[in-house]
Amino acid sequence: MPIIAPSLLSANFLQLEADCTMLNNSEADWFHLDVMDGRFVPNISFGPMIIEFIRKATNKVCDVHLMIEEPEKYAAAFKKAGADILTVHIEACTHLHRNIQQIKSLGMKAGVAVNPHTPVALLENVLADIDLVCLMSVNPGFGGQSFIPKTIDKIKTLRGLIEAGGHNIQIEIDGGVTLDNAPAIIAAGADVLVAGNTVFGSADPVATIRALKTAG
Ligand code: DX5
Ligand code: ZN
């Protein structure tokens, strides 16, 4: 069964505690936390302070997706805030290998995210070093966008690279995941489904999470 990681970007921040409690009582596996700086992406969301509060509200895995430039300046702050997984964008890291080593030396799992235009082949020389690849299936910056179909090919290509190298890496799909496309995403080889709008925009988020969990 896939790991389900609801994105808190689509939560109601006036009742964040209630939304965290709802997720705690659901089959959600991870909390996906989207950090945006208004430079790497054209939107600003939240930073370590909010994550520190969320950390106090859950024992589930805090999966922090940094859509920021110069992530090395903030990695320690996100560890302190309670991140279990810290994902940086390949497009934001001139010295990606160094960024990955920093994250691991701080005691977090290391993820690398790739934008829709970025070939997964560019990850080849770091696959031995990372725990997760986040394939962006929308252009990062906003929730509620449509899934880019080309992502399905990228999942298959990446799955092939991971298996050929014998790596232990989870493939996470982020953006536009719905109950309709989840089966194809899982069949292509994804391990983790991020879902913002599909979960928080539904009448019954707990039932929607269960449906995603059993999709495919
Ligand atoms: C987009 C974020 C996503 C977003 C997904 O920049 O990285 O995690 O919250 O939202 P949905 O599932 O609504 O596309
Ligand atoms: Zn994300």
For the chain, give every domain's residue range.
3-213
Nearest to 14 by CA among 200, 202, 205: 200
Quote the ligand 2 centre to 32 CA distance (angstroms).
6
What is d(CA 36, CA 139) in angstroms, rounded to the nearest whole number? Answer: 13
pLDDT at 64: 99
At 22-69, the pLDDT tens digits run 999 999 999 999 999 999 999 999 999 999 999 999 999 999 999 999
**Minimum-distance ligand to the CA of 115?**
1
Quote the ligand 2 centre to 197 CA distance (angstroms).
12
pLDDT at 216: 82
Which ligand 1 atom sits nearest the alpha carbon of residue 195?
A: 12
Residue-wise burial string across 133-158, b where 16 or more C-beta atoms lie within 10 A, e elsewhere: bbbbbbebbbbeeebbeebbebbebb
Instruction: List the catalytic residue out of 19, 34, 37, 191.
Output: 34
The stretches in the chain having pLDDT less than 50 are none
- Is there a catalytic annotation at residue 34? yes
Q: Which residue has the tokens 């449906």?
A: 211
Degrees (nearest 5) of the Cα angle 32, 45, 55? 45
Which ligand 1 atom sits nearest the alpha carbon of residue 134?
A: 7
**Minimum-distance ligand to the CA of 198?**
1
Any residues with Cβ below 6 Å from ligand 1, and which?
A: 7, 9-10, 32, 34, 65, 138, 140-145, 174-177, 194-198
Degrees (nearest 5) of the Cα angle 85, 8, 197? 120
Whole-prediction pTM value?
Answer: 0.98
Q: Return the best residue to mutate from 9, 43, 193, 202 for the ligand 1 pocket (most ligand atoms within 8 A of CB).
A: 9
Which ligand 1 atom sits nearest the alpha carbon of residue 43?
A: 6
Instruction: Look up residue 175 and give its amino acid.
Output: G
- Is there a catalytic annotation at residue 153? no
CATH of 3-213, one of 3.30.830.10, 1.10.287.1080, 3.20.20.70, 3.90.1280.10: 3.20.20.70
CB 35 within 8 A of CB 49: no
Write the DSSP symbol of residue 209: H
Backbone angles phi, psi at 104, to 5 degrees: -70, -35
